[in-house]
Every structure is written in structure tokens, then in C-alpha cells.
Amino acid sequence: MMRLAALFMLLPALLLVPGGEAHAQAARNAPRGPVPADAPLITDLSSHLIAITSSFTGTELLLFGAIDEPGEVIVVVRGPTSTSVVRRKRQTLGLWLTRRSESFDGVPAYYAVASTRPLAEIAPPSLLQRLQIGANTLRFRYIGRRNPDEVSEFRTAIVRQKTREGLYRDNTGGVDFLGPKLFRTAISFPATVPVGTYQTEIYLVRDDRIVAAQSTPLFIDKQGIEQEVFDFSRHEPAVYGLVAVLLAAIAGWLAAVAFRRG
């Protein structure tokens, strides 16, 4: 129980750290690795590595765990962040053309949230905002000179577009309890999921407060021939281009010769 008490005291302090790094710090400080049997929250993923091979069509991971005290569970998976450019079309001379674009930093390539019940019923908005739980709480940093209020439509467009692409997933209500202690949820990744280091965060919430939190990394990587082709195209672009042209020329010539005989 000592550990629990320490967590109680530690967590709120950590969560109050200003800025977007709060959740990451909380996650880093949350217990991980071999957890004592009396820990309030124990979780694991069915796999910590997703390999993108030639037959990759998207995949599903199973996250499962056990809680030692009552509460609601929230699962968040964040992909690597990067700069995103949003373009807006405007009708010009009767044609829909891109007229304006805005850039945002800190946009996760992938973001999924799952929970036992709707987020609003589990935790207060301030908590969700602070930990960036739920796609609409994500804080993208605007890069540009305009008034931040002017670009809010561009922000919501990112979430809308990513959701449409299946890269932002809302699975509230998707964490199922098997009995009083065991829970599980499935996390889906589409075929277009970007490679990188992902972070899985699991929160146990009771009475509008985080009772326990855990964080575990997840790696998504291209493997085998996919990785080699991709690396080749990036590290030796000139040789890659030459090989592409030669392959095409040889294939075309072979086809012509083969069909002349046939």
C-alpha cells in the first residue's frame, strides 16, 4: 500500500506540469517492467513490435490487463509526432484550387483511444485536456504568423482527415471487462500506419482522478524487402533510380523478344 500512496501523491503533481509534455512525463514515471503483485494496474500488449512486410494489410493488437481496485480504464496509443501541412481549397474562377496552407507541429501520425465508458462520464474535461485524452484534446503547435484563432478550422481538419484515414481511432466503450478484474481491448492499425516508436498509455480512473497509470512502448517497422527497398531509395537515390530504369528497360525488352517468338 505504500507504493499506492506514493503514486497518489506523485501523480497529481506530475500531471500539473504545464505544457504538452505532461502526459509523457506521467507515462515515463509510471511503473513499468516487472510490477509487484499488489500493483493496482498490470497490463501488457500481445506484441510490442509490428513488422510491416510485403503482405501487411493492417493489423490488430490485443491489450490486456488486470486491476486490483475498482475504476474505469482508459487506453491511449500515440504514434510518432511530426509536422503536418493542411491545405484548404477555395473556388477560384469556378475551379476548386488549393489557396492556403497552414503547418502544425506535434501532430501524432496515429492516435487511438479506448475506454470502458464514454470519456465524459469517466473523467472531468480538465483532466482529459491536460493528458490529451481524446483526439479533440490534442494540442498541435501552430507554425505561422496568423492569429491562432484563425487556424482552428485547420486544426479540426487534421483530426477529421486522420479519422477518415483510420489513423485516429475512437473506441470509447471498447475496453471490455472479463469478470471484475480482467480487461482487454483490441487496437487496430490500418495498412497506411507509419513506422516509428509508439507509446501506449493505460490509465485507471476513479472519482475523477487517475489512480494508476502505465506506459509501454510499441515499435512499428518496415521489415525484409520493404525495409531494404525503402532504405535503398533514401540512401542511394541515384543508384535506385538507375536500377528502376534498367529493370523497366530489361523487362520491356524481354517481353518484346518473348512475344516475337510466341
Partner 1 sequence: MQIYLPIAELSVSVWLLLGLGGAVGYLSGLFGVGGGFLLTPLLIFIGVPPPVAVATSANQVVAASVSAVYAHWRKSNVDFKMGTVLLVGGLIGSSFGAYLFSVLKRIGHLDAVIALSYVTILGVIGALMLTESLHALRRKPNGGQPVKRRKRLHDHPVIRALPFKMRFRKSQLYISALMPLSLGVLVGILAAIMGVGAGFLLVPAMIYLLGMPTAVVVGTSLFQIIFVTANVTMLHAITTQTVDVTLALLLLVGSVIGAQYGVRHGAHLRGEQVRGLLAALVLAVAIALAFELVLTPDDLYSLEAGGPR
- φ/ψ of 249, rounded to 5, equals -65, -45
Closest contact distance (angstroms) between CB of 42 and partner 1 is: 34
| 110 near partner 1, rule: CB under 8 A | no
C-beta of 48 vs 89, nearer to partner 1: 89
**How many Cβ atoms from other residues are within 10 Å of residue 31's Cβ?**
17
Q: Which residues contact 4 (CB under 8 A, 6 or more apart)?
A: 38, 40, 212
Q: Are strands 168-172 and 176-178 parallel, antiparallel or unpaired?
A: unpaired
Scanning the structure block, which residue is given the C-alpha cell 510499441?
218
Between CA 195 and CA 17 the distance in angstroms is 29
Query: Grid coordinates standing for 52?
Result: 510491416
C-beta of 125 vs 190, nearer to partner 1: 190
Q: CB under 8 A: which stretch of 16-24, 141-149, 178-186, 187-195 binds partner 1?
A: 187-195
Query: Grid coordinates standing for 145?
Result: 504568423
Encoded one letter per residue, x for contact with partner 1 by CB under 8 A and - for no contact, window 50-89 reads --xxxxxxx-----------------------x-xxxxxx
Closest contact distance (angstroms) between CB of 45 and partner 1 is: 22
Binding interface with partner 1 (CB under 8 A): 52-58, 82, 84-91, 94-98, 101, 153-154, 157-158, 160-162, 164, 191-192, 194, 222, 225-227, 229-230, 233-234, 237-238, 240-245, 247-249, 251-253, 255-257, 259-260
